Structure 1
Amino acid sequence: MKYLGMLLTILLAGCQSTPNFCEKEPDSNLCNQNTYYDATIKALKEFETKKSNKAFALAQTSDGWEFFGYSEGYSSTHKAKEAALRQCQLRLDKHGTDGKCELIR
């Protein structure tokens, strides 16, 4: 029983420390805030004020468009990441454009 608690602690710590896209690919254009549209910058500023269990996903398309989705206040960071990716993907789909949503925060 003692080891089960230790295993759960290790697993949960690993989930919290999974690097986002920009931590893995810091030189990617997707991670360069100097290229972001004003709407994305505004959304990131708002996102940064949120407290916990939050995530921000961003997609840049080959034709120059930018789409994002973010979430906060979920019961876990994992759920927040899923919601941010889903929101970003819905926006991509709505506009019928290419691109891949990545978690950047």
Structure 2
Amino acid sequence: MIKLKKSSRKSKETLTHRKTTKIKELAVMQNDFYKQNDNDTIWWVDNDNYGEHEFSFDRKKIYNLFTDYPYNMTSEEVAIFDKENPYWADFFKDRKN
């Protein structure tokens, strides 16, 4: 355990951010990615969690379908996702209005 002085709050926040980032990087490295079609842009995360649908555009930043679509995505990412996944685009059509 690393001990920090009470006066080094900013250092503690930076350390916490580094630890969180490192954990996320490790999680990304441990994921298996696959594409539904060879020409798709989207990579899906192969995980064992029932009902959890995660995907990525760059295999670095992972989105959760139910919590991130379309709110935490760029308009370009949403357009790509909708084109490659018409079922989910229709399923979530009420989120876009």
Which TM bucket (shorter chain)? 0.3 to 0.5
TM-score by length of 2: 0.33
Q: TM-score, normalised by structure 1?
A: 0.32
Q: Which of 1 and 2 has greater Rg? A: 2
